[in-house]
Structure 1
């Protein structure tokens, strides 16, 4: 029997392959503000952290300009871009099996709660999650540790019993700061080196296999 009872799962790069939707929406905002075409290497860095942080840290925008960029991003994202995603192989089986075996699975994402909820509903995955923890549209902070702690409180999860699953250092750092274990998946948008350097408890190339070997066996 696994010591973990609750699994916090990141959305972008962990449950869904959403890179194209995020990168093209980020570029739309940049083009609208006169920044021109940006290299894929830079746009990929928008997958994971909050949009405000990305526009300010990656492009050196002021808070005022970053706020405009986020608004432009959301205008095209809400119009349909957010549904241009696919579910990674193995994820449906993980969710269904966890539900069947009585484990809690909670979506913990930096994406606004409203968007994440609509995406899960569209993909037919909502019923397999026990909950969703994401920032509100007006929330300036989507720091992962804050979201993890909120989820721990809402789902009465002790530190030793819950684990964060994600694809970037933001997920791993959030878990470490919250005092819980983590799984870094290598199929998303972070590298194996990044996940190792930030001290993920486990590294998984195949998340379904990890569950089969570490949790369900």
Structure 2
């Protein structure tokens, strides 16, 4: 199971749900490992009070796909131009503005999900640590670790790698590094990559 940010929280909670439902050893036939990217309960909870403001400051529409890509790079959402050319256009949809002009607007209304933000991250650390499968946490910086994760990592309860010179979307900023860490994780724990 693999997930980034909120997707990492979902992957963790889904894995826990499968473990709870199937009980015993049978569930490990379905999920061989958990690989989450740049999601830590403590950091996420600390950032939540600022998220509404951050989301509200984004432009609501763009005149072209090129301007979407430019925004992605200039805002440091994505630091890798090649990745931004792929990921940023996928986040918008064409619309017609009030003047009849074609514009590009965000595909997803992030603020509509605000009532669920706290729930997504509450209990994430303990749920992650309680899972009895190989686990990997990939982070954009050591400062993202909370106390419980730091202690658990020192006890060898999961693997952790910090990737330098990246922002929150590590997999886009340094896809080569993420692929390398993921491959090492699969090989170390003999997880079939099918």
TM-score of the alignment, normalized to the shorter chain, above 0.5: no
TM-score of the two chains, using structure 2 as the length reference: 0.38
TM-score of the two chains, using structure 1 as the length reference: 0.35
